Structure 1
Amino acid sequence: NDKGQNGEDLTGGYYDAGDFIKFGFPMAFTATTLAWSIIDYQSGYSKANALDDAHKAVKWATDYFLKAHVSANKLYGQVGQGDLDHNWWGRPEDMTMERPAFYIDETNPGSDLAGETAAALAAASIVFKSVHSSYSNTLLQHAEQLFTFANQHRKVYSESIADAANFYGSSAIKMSLVWAAAWLHQATGNSDYLDTAEQLYTEFQMEYFGGNYGWDQKVSGAEVLLAKATKNSKYSDKVKSFCDYMINTEQKTPKGLLFVGDWGSLRSAANVVFICLEAADMGISASQYRSFAEKQIGYILGDGGRSYIVGYGENPPTHEH
């Protein structure tokens, strides 16, 4: 029964974790990445008989984003308040507590949130273009509006939605704008978006940013898209440097897991794997990168002695959060 401040329907979408808050920023990144994987690796989903489920998973998020984008320059970015939610234990079906909703607009903007949501909708529009063309067009319309809003009203969203700063504070205005423009070029074929992405990349001096890929770090993801679109080695060289560092220099656990950080360590490793598989598909150190990817995913699936996938493999988790 989630509603906006004026009664807007905000049902749907994904909870953040074991709690019941809906944070739009990381949710949008998740949707973008899942859509990207369907675009580039659809055959894998088909072989696993999982393509329909993947489409449904993306659409569950994008349906919510369409509801949350209530006008051209207004986007709900959070439902639920952190401290209130974390002090309640139970099933979501039993919740009767207040569920405040928070939005960004021209007065209190959020370029990173709007940009990432634009990227998610643009990527999803590609996914649905051949199977649900009218829905794809709707997604793209909202994506273009959100990118314009994000680029014209630049501010960190977690300064506008203060509660989000306690959980998903952002440093990603610059990266999110480049990322969104690159996805809009991918979705539309409009070279103006590619020009904008490259101009913003130069304006923000992103060539000096360290590579990474995650909900607050899209540098390497944007560089993959730009490398594919332009064939310019300045982008592909950055992707190669990132993957080479992760494979050859970044610390590993005794059983070989890439260890980028202790919060969501499997997630971080899998994100790196995705970028390096994209690099391999571009012909960059393909054999080395694919071997690295197989070992990392194998670890997650249980090659190290236990599976980290609920319900799968040897000794999987039984008390998931």
Structure 2
Amino acid sequence: MSYVFYEAQRSGKLPASQRVTWRGDSALDDGSDVFRNLSGGYYDAGDHVKFGFPMAFTATMLGWGLLDFTEGHETAGQDQYALEAIKWATDYFIKAFTQIYEFYGQTAQDRARLSRTSVPTVTDRYRSLHDRMIEFDRGTQIGCENGADRGTQIGCENGAFKLDSRELLDAYPRSSWSGYGDELCWAALWLARATGDHQYIEKAKAHWEEFDLTKDQVQQFSWDDKRAGVYALFYLLTEETEFLDLLNTYLDWLKNTATYTPEGLVHLDTWGANRHAANVAFISLWAAKNGIDQENNRQWARGQIGQLLGDNSRYERSFVVGYGQDPPQRPHHRSSSCPFPPSDCHFGLQQSGPNPHTLYGALVGGPSQSGEYEDDREDYVRNEVACDYNAAFTGALAALVEIS
């Protein structure tokens, strides 16, 4: 179901194999305003914007899950769907990498994205801007020739998908919430794994020292903070005890110090709590597969994923649309909120009934720290869905299939 969800998020010309039949071709002229072909890729969440940074993290995590939990994918018959899901993103990234030092980091406008309800169509008047990662006021791109002082993070996250893009790895840094040092390490480590070239490990270590990535407590593993994943990849590629110790310290912090809901779900952020629980469950299952405190890490991660699938006495419900007992029926998601063929659904977010279409496999945002949750379409903090929400979650499910 998780891979079916990604088909519901597709932008561009849909293939004959498309299983989500209430979706159609959309945004085929993306990029035309800047004389580029930027069609394809994934809509980020319940909106119709294509954000390159979280989309790239999504593709990375789907790829990591397939690489290291291949057996689980094959047992579930999902390996081919995994490849197709990853390729749908990477084909778009290759288009977005239009020339040396030029990468289009976002397609379509951000404004009004949470309040406007519609289905994505072939032409959409809100798709006139093709922006770099942060600014929303004009069409441009990240890179060097326009003097942009930004681009490192999204360039890094895309780096290993197209090896010719490695020039982006050190181009014009710009900090977001967690800084960009983790992305520099992350990119170099994935390039090391993809190429077998030891120079990338040395580059990663140089960034590790430069940005002092252990100075602050790691709490999340997400599209904006890769440090827990950096610890894991460093250990995988070097087998050095320093990185094993850091990973163990983080996993112990999750089990013994992190905040939890009354039900027992680790709660690392108000927005998309389920996503964060799934992300760290993936790291825990990866550690277990690599012989790190195997039984404890497996048991803890199984409990977290169990919470998401409905193993919770307070809610007695699944947080995955279309799955299990009493799943969400009103996810904050534009196109599934509209009937097909589409009619005027300007007030689709406000209608009280279930979404006209079941968004199979989508993991919703989840409860507050106090455990409160309501299946409310207008609550985009707790009931929106997103591509990155399902990414590590998918790999964690494959890991659990392997050990079931």
What TM-score results when the alignment is normalised by the length of structure 1? 0.85
Q: Which has the higher contact order (CA 8 A, sep 6+)?
A: 2
Give the Å deviation of 1:89: 2.4
**Residue 311 in structure 1 maps to residue 327 in structure 2:** no
Superposed CA RMSD: 1.6
Aligned residues: 287
Report what 1:297 is aligned to. 305
Q: Which sits farther off after the overlay, 226-235 or 201-210?
A: 201-210
Report what 2:192 is aligned to. 185
Q: 1:170 and 1:67 mapped to 2: Cα distance?
A: 27
Give the Å deviation of 1:295: 0.6
Select which of 63, 66, 69 maps to 1:35: 63
- SS class of match (1:13): coil
Report what 1:256 is aligned to. 264
**Residue 265 in structure 1 maps to residue 273 in structure 2:** yes
Counterpart amino acid of residue 143 in structure 2 = D
Report what 1:105 is aligned to. 143
Report what 2:174 is aligned to. 156
- SS class of match (2:106): strand
Q: 2:216 and 2:104 mapped to 1: Cα distance?
A: 29
**Residue 68 in structure 1 maps to residue 66 in structure 2:** no
Which structure shows the higher helix fraction? Answer: 1
Is the 8 Å Cα contact of residues 4 and 101 (structure 1) preserved in structure 2?
no
Q: 1:228 and 1:94 mapped to 2: Cα distance?
A: 44
Quickly say closer, same or farther: Cα 1:271–1:86, change in 2 above 3 A: closer
Same amino acid, percent of matched pairs: 37
Report what 2:124 is aligned to. 96
Give the Å deviation of 1:255: 1.6
Give the Å deviation of 1:286: 1.1
Structure 2 alignment gaps of length 5 or more: 1-28, 132-140, 333-404
Give the Å deviation of 1:4: 5.2
Report what 2:82 is aligned to. 54
Select which of 212, 222, 233 maps to 1:205: 212
Q: 1:98 and 1:270 mapped to 2: Cα distance?
A: 32
Q: 1:312 and 1:267 mapped to 2: Cα distance?
A: 17
Is the 8 Å Cα contact of residues 154 and 173 (structure 1) preserved in structure 2?
no
What TM-score results when the alignment is normalised by the length of structure 2? 0.68
Quickly say closer, same or farther: Cα 1:84–1:256, change in 2 above 3 A: closer
Report what 1:164 is aligned to. none
Quickly say closer, same or farther: Cα 1:98–1:261, change in 2 above 3 A: closer
Is the 8 Å Cα contact of residues 209 and 219 (structure 1) preserved in structure 2?
no
Counterpart amino acid of residue 104 in structure 1 = I
Give the Å deviation of 1:62: 0.4
Consecutive aligned runs of 4 or more in structure 1 exceeding 6 Å deviation: none
Give the Å deviation of 1:6: 2.7
**Residue 224 in structure 1 maps to residue 240 in structure 2:** no
Q: 2:320 and 2:115 mapped to 1: Cα distance?
A: 28
Give the Å deviation of 1:299: 1.0
Is the 8 Å Cα contact of residues 13 and 61 (structure 1) preserved in structure 2?
yes
Structure 1 alignment gaps of length 5 or more: 122-138, 158-168
Q: Give CA-to-partner distance per residue, 1:146-191, whole Å, 9 cap, x none.
A: x32221x23217xxxxxxxxxxx55331110000000000000000
